[in-house]
Chain A
Amino acid sequence: MDIFGVPIQALMGQLMLGIVNGSFYAVLSLGLAIIFGVLKIVNFAHGAFFMLGAFTAFLLAQHLGANYWTTLLVAPLAVALFGMLFEWLFLRRLYGLDPIYGLLLTFSLVLVLEGGFRVAFGSSGQPFATPEALRGTLNLGFMILPMYRGFVIVAALLVCLVTWFVIERTSLGANLRAATERAELTQAFGIDVPRLVTLTYGVGVGLAAFAGVLAAPIFHVNPSMGSSLVIIIFAVVVIGGLGSIMGAIVTGLGLGVVEGFTRVFYSEFSSTIVFLVMVLVLLLRPAGLFGREEG
């Protein structure tokens, strides 16, 4: 069976890959959306933290012989700590200033991190082995899906849902949302808002690093692996609606699928389609698909 001259099998295959990519977009844009929601900082360094996650995992495996599952846990925590330190030392001095300052600071962090890793590890990257247990392939009938990619979808969605649950359904999340809306009032209730903010940045950065560890066996660990992704992630957050948690997750997955379909019909256009969608959404719904108009 063909759809517009494309065999349905090819279409299903690309759809599946779209979901895999969409999972990365979802985890990354979720972190970005949380950070923007609470800190009002445009975290340009998100791609660099993604890369840092992958490199931390690589270094843990290389020098300490850590297995994949340990790195999946430890690397995001380590990067989150680093992110919190960065927030505590630098970023918090910029709250209340024009967002452009935050953007410039985080962008400079990208240049420093990427440049540093390029000097230390070169530009062509380091190999990262797929964990033994996930080496095989799954025959889905319409395509051969490497087991690891299937795992990526499951792990990414799980992390997204847990994050969403914590923010929307727990008291910690409630405090966080309160601090976002009325920081001073929340503080008056005896909640340590600055610590909450640091923690939020840590969680956002940790999510990026988690995606980085997930990506390491697929993408070959190299210093620029985050920079090509980060632009798309920004588009995802804008389309989903700035600061919207569910918006970021759903849009991330959705755009992965849209991109996958575009690859089937007109491959050259696949790197542009996300931005076309962004333009359309901004024209029709300036607050994004899931965003609320601020009155």
Chain B
Amino acid sequence: MPAKTPLKTFALSSMVLAMGAASGAMASNGFSDDVVRIGVLTDMSGIYTDLSGEAAVEAVRMAVEDFGGEVGGVPIEVIYGDHRNRADTGASRAREWYDNDGVDMINDLSNSGVALAVAAVAEERQRHAISNSASNIGLTNDYCSPYVTHYTYDAYSLAQGTGKTIVEDGGDTWFFLTVDFAFGIGLEEQVSEVVREAGGQVVGAARHPLDTTDFSSYALQAQASGAEIIGIASTGADAINAINALSEFGVSPDQRPAALLLWYDDIVSLGLEAAQGLLLTNAFYWDADDETREFSQRFYERTGRMPNMAQAGNYSSTMHYLNAVEAAGTDDPDAVSEQMRELEINDFFASGGYIRPNGRMVHDQYLWEVKAPDESEYDYDFLRLVATIPGEEAFQPLEDSSCYLLEHNQ
């Protein structure tokens, strides 16, 4: 029918235009939209704001500035968004960024639930995602992808650090206070495994919702369990409240709390008086050497706080991604992925670090002990190094990973 022809023509030409636009998106210089765009997806308003948040965005900005603001002749742009600690919000924001806003790489991803959800989107859309603040090892197992990198630490390394040290020190019956979502449960599993392997025993666990204020009843349950070690499988405000409740209810002398993921910021918040003697496994401490001090000083001047391991990881991983883009000469995700796994990471954050095929960045982890108030000599002098855990020991052996990219799983 001739009446339809103009409509058809219109439809056809708009399709052609759309295809033209799509192919034009990958410009001749090898860079999509003529810009490398990094999205920082983080907790800007919730319980994990101190651990990542605004300071994480600033760390990524610093990396981009230090890199020179452009790569392969195109500018680098940083945008950020709030996942509100909800996996669905995080995933839909990631989809929007990849599909409509031309984001090439998403960084930070605090909150394991969010990180796992975004990892699935990254795999589907074939774009990069790097998690620095989440711990769930699903990221390098069932949810692994050529485009997903787990950079700073994970639940396995925490278990190898704090968990193992305490078991070896004689703490062999455990009770867990676990935050009831992917992060806490994953962490409890990893540490339980270490405890059992060492011949210890897990006598029970109490699960609490995220952002719990009253831990008194859990403290009583922990007391009643009779376990020697009360493993706190939560972090941030939850862990702080749990530590306070345990000390308030006077956990008996033969019971000790073990916080399994403490951040530098948690120590600031607890104060040395309450935190002294606690062990923490962290990949980075601002006062470790001259290089970390130099970076941290600059970071402090911009944000008014010392960087924690995730913020340092945000900087280092952004730098590594940009190095990979430069080496590849394109922001094509596959080419970049190849370079990221090829190039070694040597900076203030990691020496001889490398990314395994399943996306795990392997580098040394450190076990720290919180100093007593009278041992702290200057501002922010909080931690003492107890042990260095070599990267190969700190992370899950490759043969145990269920990642589909590995030969033994094919």
- A268/B207 in contact, CB under 8 A: yes
- B213/A219 in contact, CB under 8 A: yes
Quick one: which of B208, B217, B237, B268 has the most chain A CB within 10 A?
B217
With A115-B45, A123-B50 in contact, do A17 and B236 touch (Cβ < 8 Å)? no
Partner of B213, one of A123, A127, A130, A229: A229
Bound state CA distance, A146 and B214, in angstroms? 14
CB-CB nearest in chain A for B275: A127
Bound state CA distance, A268 and B208, in angstroms? 7
> B20 near A: Cβ within 8 Å?
no
Bound state CA distance, A149 and B240, in angstroms? 18
> A37 near B: Cβ within 8 Å?
no
Interface size class of B (residues with CB under 8 A): 35 or more
> A244 near B: Cβ within 8 Å?
no
> A273 near B: Cβ within 8 Å?
no
> B35 near A: Cβ within 8 Å?
no
- A219/B47 in contact, CB under 8 A: no
With A17-B216, A220-B244 in contact, do A122 and B49 touch (Cβ < 8 Å)? yes
With A124-B269, A228-B213 in contact, do A118 and B237 touch (Cβ < 8 Å)? no
Give residues of chain A (109-149) contacting chain B, Cβ–Cβ below 8 Å.
115, 118, 122-127, 130, 137, 143-144, 146, 148-149
> B266 near A: Cβ within 8 Å?
yes
Interface bits B208-222 vs A (CB < 8 Å: 1, else 0)? 110111101110110
Which residues from chain B contact A219 at a C-beta distance below 8 Å?
Answer: 213-214, 241
Interface bits A18-44 vs B (CB < 8 Å: 1, else 0)? 001100000000000000000000000
With A14-B220, A219-B214, A267-B207 in contact, do A125 and B49 touch (Cβ < 8 Å)? no
CB-CB nearest in chain A for B49: A123
- B220/A222 in contact, CB under 8 A: no
Give residues of chain B (30-60) contacting chain A, Cβ–Cβ below 8 Å.
45-51, 53
Give residues of chain B (216-235) contacting chain A, Cβ–Cβ below 8 Å.
216-218, 220-221, 224
> A196 near B: Cβ within 8 Å?
no
- A123/B249 in contact, CB under 8 A: no
**Would you give the shortest CB distance from A111 to chain B, in whole angstroms?**
9
- Chain A: interface residue total (CB-CB under 8 A): 39
Partner of A220, one of B49, B180, B237, B249: B237
> B75 near A: Cβ within 8 Å?
no
With A14-B220, A127-B271, A229-B213 in contact, do A220 and B250 touch (Cβ < 8 Å)? no
Which residues from chain A contact B244 at a C-beta distance below 8 Å?
Answer: 218, 220
> B290 near A: Cβ within 8 Å?
no
Having A124-B237, A271-B209, one finds 4 other A-B pairs with CB under 8 Å, namely A10-B224, A13-B220, A17-B217, A123-B50
- Using CB atoms and an 8 Å cutoff, list the residues of chain B in contact with chain A: 45-51, 53, 180, 206-209, 211-214, 216-218, 220-221, 224, 236-237, 240-241, 244, 248-250, 265-266, 268-271, 274
